[in-house]
Every structure is written in structure tokens, then in C-alpha cells.
Structure 1
Amino acid sequence: MGTWGMGHFDSDTAADFSGSLDDAPPGKREEMIREALAFAARTGPEEYLDADDGVVAVAAAALLAAQRPGGTPVDTVYGPDEPLPPLLTPDLCELAVRALGRVIAEESELLDLWDDAGEGEQWSAGVRELRAILAGADAAAP
């Protein structure tokens, strides 16, 4: 998994997603984020969610969370360079919460990879924090 850290953009896949956002016309960026989240969210609990799809969903959600009060700005060199439009529509936040729930659920290759590395709980805590920010909660939701 071309990953060098636990940050939401610390992988080849997340960095590639950021580059794709930068290369896309401004009017297409929200659609790309929505598609990334929707794919993960609609993967059924019995289906195995591919790690790359999970990584992209987490990166997309991090971009949304950065626009919410309490969200952490995306200031890594691996995040998008081009500014994103305001993306905080209630339906997009709700979609991100569902997608992140799927990423940390069973049958998630990304979670399995972090578990295999002995860092699953710490990585999951970061994803739960994103979910809580997007849900408007004060504490990380399970």
C-alpha cells in the first residue's frame, strides 16, 4: 500500500486523487468528491471494500471536514493545490459519514492492512474523528 504515514493524504492513492482534483475543471471537483464517497458508502457490508477506494473516500472526507468548524485544514503537500469550492451541503456530509463508517467496518481492506501493520486502532481513531467532525458531534462516533 504505497503509504508513508497515517495522515489522510499520506499515500500514493490519496496523492493521486489530489492531483486528479487539481487537474479537473473547478465545476467537476465536487462531483469527483461525491463519487468517491458514494462508491464507498454504497459498498454493502458483505462486500469487500478495496483499499484504494477506502483511501480515496477518506481523503475526500478530509477535504469536507477541513471546511467544518473544528476541522483540520489540509495543509500537506500531498493534498490538492487548487482551492476547492465550499462543499458542505448536508447531503454530502451525510454521505461522507456513511462512507467513513464503511471504511472502518469489517470487510474493509484498508482497515485490514492497518490492522496487519499493528496500527489499526490508531488509524481508525483518525477516521472516527473525521466522522465526528462531519456529523457535527463533539466526540468520535463509533
Structure 2
Amino acid sequence: MGAWDIGHFDNDTAADFGGRVDDAEPGKKADVLRDVLTAIADTGPEDYADCGEEAVAAAALIAAQCPGGEPVTTAYGPKEPLPPLPADLRPLAVRALDRLTAENAEPLDLWAEAGEDQAWLAGIAALRAVLVGASGE
């Protein structure tokens, strides 16, 4: 993962994902987010969850539309505003974030190797709190 900072879009994979979201038709943007979240959320604990950067970016986009969510203002995120996203993406995003903070998850391993795992986990916890609060879980 080529990363320049700890932010949810501050790595090559997430920045490319922002462009992919922009390239999707307005009615398909939620599907793009759902696909990357499902790919991570559906991995078992025995599976190695790699390439989770897209799922984190998707979760950030969903959380941005929730009460208390931070807007995605980075130049590396989507340039076009997203339509209102379906509420069922919120618990899916929580499941994906939970998977990425468990064992056998590449992003956590990479941030740990860089000595930034606690800062990264704090950012993930903040996203998760917004998503859970908006889901009513």
C-alpha cells in the first residue's frame, strides 16, 4: 500500500477507488460501495483480508452521510457528490470495519509495521461509532 498519511483516502488504492466511484453511473454508485464492503465483510477469520483500503474509503463515504459524520473533503476522494446512500450500507460497513480490525487483515498489519496501528484504529473506531449510531444498533 502506497500511503502518504493516515486518512481514509490517503493511499493509492483508496484514491483510485474515489475515481472509480466518480466513474460509476449515479444509480450504480451505491453498488460500487456495496461490492467492496461485501468482499471484506464476507471473509472469514481464517481468510487473509487484503486490499481493505477500498472498504475503509467506502465506509468513510457512507459515514459522511450519517448524523455526526465527517464530510469527505480530501482531494483524493470522489470529486462528484454522492446521491443519498441506502441505510442498509451502514451495518455492512460496520461488518467490514470489524473484519479489518481483526486478525488476518492486511491494512492493520501494514499500519502495525509502520508503527501507526493505534492511530489507524482510532480513525476506524470513529467511523464505526458514526455508522453504529446511525444504524440504531
Matches within 5 A, 1:99-118: 99-118=96-115
Instruction: Give the RMSD, CA atoms, in angstroms.
Output: 1.0
Question: 2:119 maps to what in 1?
Answer: 122
Question: How far 1:88 moved relative to its partner?
Answer: 4.2
Given the alignment of the two structures, is residue 64 of structure 1 paired with residue 30 of structure 2, yes or no?
no
- Give the 4+ runs in structure 1 shifted more than 4 A: none
Structure 1 gap ranges (5+): 138-142
Matches within 5 A, 1:33-44: 33-44=33-44
- The answer (yes or no) to whether the contact 1:68–1:88 under 8 Å persists in 2 is no
- The answer (yes or no) to whether the contact 1:4–1:10 under 8 Å persists in 2 is yes
- Identity value in percent: 62
Matched residue of 1:110: which SS? Answer: helix
Matched residue of 1:136: which SS? Answer: helix
Listed one character per residue, the Cα deviations across residues 77-111 of structure 1 (whole Å, up to 9, x for unaligned) are 0010111111141x210100000000111100110
Matched residue of 2:10: which SS? Answer: coil
Question: How far 1:128 moved relative to its partner?
Answer: 1.1
Aligned pairs, number: 134
- The answer (yes or no) to whether the contact 1:9–1:78 under 8 Å persists in 2 is yes
- The answer (yes or no) to whether the contact 1:14–1:56 under 8 Å persists in 2 is yes
Matched residue of 2:89: which SS? Answer: helix
Matched residue of 1:71: which SS? Answer: coil
Question: 2:46 maps to what in 1?
Answer: 46
Question: 1:140 maps to what in 2?
Answer: none
The one-letter amino acid paired with 1:94 is P
Given the alignment of the two structures, is residue 136 of structure 1 paired with residue 133 of structure 2, yes or no?
yes
Question: 2:16 maps to what in 1?
Answer: 16
Listed one character per residue, the Cα deviations across residues 15-72 of structure 1 (whole Å, up to 9, x for unaligned) are 100001111111111100001111110010110001x2x1000000000000011110
- The answer (yes or no) to whether the contact 2:30–2:86 under 8 Å persists in 1 is no
TM-score, normalised via structure 1 length? 0.92
CA distance in 1, matches of 2:4, 2:68: 25
CA distance in 1, matches of 2:24, 2:92: 22
